[in-house]
Amino acid sequence: MEFRPIERTHDAFQQPVTAEQIRAMCSRAFGSRVEVISAVELGNGMYNNTYRVDIGGNGPVILRVAPEPARQYRIERELMRNEHSSVPFLAPIAPMIPRTLAADFTREIIGRDYLFQTMLDGIPGPEGIGNYPRPQWTSFFRQMGEIAASIHAVRGEHFGPVTGPWFDTWSEALIAHFTDLAADLDDSGLDATDVREVAAAAHKYAAVLDEVTEPRLLHGDLWTVNVMMDPDAAEPTINGVFDNDRTSWGDPESDWVIFMAGKKPGTERDAFWESYGPRPSTASAAQRSLFYLAKHIGALRLERHRLGNAEAVPESYEQMRDVLDQLR
């Protein structure tokens, strides 16, 4: 078996598995007679460990291994299980997402969740879009708007992550998120005072937040890094969506894809709104958007800390201060 892991330090968040463990996982998923020819770790993800595994006649498959439970933040609790449960709700984009071939959440082999998926065709979005002249990028973002709209059209029965915990109101779900985020920051040795202030403001503005009464499906991580593109298409064409583990039920305006699409107005990203539709322009929507911005700033702060990007962490405090000034 050819085994090519990514070399990491002992204290890195992502910890690799061994060749023997990969053989054991393949044997459990595909039978004791499976022949594991190679396992190559892919480096484009920052949470799960991802491997391209060649199992002979069955072709290459993707193996994703979740972090150890003790390494998982509260706001990222059991994301792999969340993705597994979200697949039926992602039916509108079913042809684009990988199929699950096997999943093992017993933690008997390595003490971590893992699953095998089909390997999507194409090339990663950041690589693919660079192969086209910039004026053609509008096609890419228009497709992104179509995909986001089809996901957001799916209705739910409660607010919160797909696997829970669930909440009856949108304000309760957001307050719970900010409470968990503050605890995660505490555990990481970072100041969480501003996040607690946002949680207190969410209590104060609960009536505004609870104008959102119908939970919609949110992808949570949809953007260029999590799509595949057709390398032979005449114009930028998205043909795959992966890393669907941050799905939840909530206000579409709070989704990551909305935040990213609106980040650089006056650029090719504006094509997103042509297919997605206009954003709400009420005063209440503007107030809610401040909480959504705080949600993204806080999550990015935690992720930058986890990745060892200490120089970028202070910026998040300045950004959160601006949000709190507007909420006050």
With 0.85 as the threshold, say if the pTM is over it. yes
CA gyration radius, the chain: 20
Tell me how far apart the alpha carbons of residues 160 and 249 are, in angstroms, rounded to a whole number.
5
Tell me how far apart the alpha carbons of residues 264 and 267 are, in angstroms, rounded to a whole number.
6
Is residue 25 domain-shared with residue 167, that is, in the same domain? no
Choose one of 86, 101, 118: the last residue of a domain: 118
Which of 103, 99, 108, 59 has the alpha carbon at shortest distance from 81?
Answer: 103
Look at residue 158 and give its three-state secondary structure. Answer: coil
Choose one of 71, 93, 118: the last residue of a domain: 118
Is residue 216 domain-shared with residue 282, that is, in the same domain? yes
The CATH number of whichever domain residue 146 belongs to comes to 3.90.1200.10
The CATH number of whichever domain residue 50 belongs to comes to 3.30.200.20
pLDDT of residue 59: 76
Is residue 195 domain-shared with residue 273, that is, in the same domain? yes
Choose one of 94, 118, 142: the last residue of a domain: 118
Is residue 80 domain-shared with residue 192, that is, in the same domain? no
Is residue 224 domain-shared with residue 149, that is, in the same domain? yes
pLDDT of residue 43: 85
> Domain of 162?
123-327
pLDDT of residue 57: 78
Is residue 60 domain-shared with residue 112, that is, in the same domain? yes
pLDDT tens per residue, range 60-104: 999 999 999 999 999 999 999 999 999 999 999 999 999 999 999
pLDDT of residue 165: 96
pLDDT of residue 96: 97
pLDDT of residue 56: 85
Is residue 72 domain-shared with residue 138, that is, in the same domain? no
Q: Which residues of the chain have pLDDT under 50?
A: none
Per the rule left: phi > 0, alpha: psi between -120 and 50, beta: everything else, 235 is beta
pLDDT of residue 6: 94
Q: How many domains would you assign to the chain?
A: 2
pLDDT of residue 150: 98
Is residue 85 domain-shared with residue 214, that is, in the same domain? no
pLDDT of residue 274: 98
Is residue 133 domain-shared with residue 273, that is, in the same domain? yes
Is residue 266 domain-shared with residue 237, that is, in the same domain? yes
Is residue 258 domain-shared with residue 176, that is, in the same domain? yes
Is residue 74 domain-shared with residue 184, that is, in the same domain? no
pLDDT of residue 185: 97
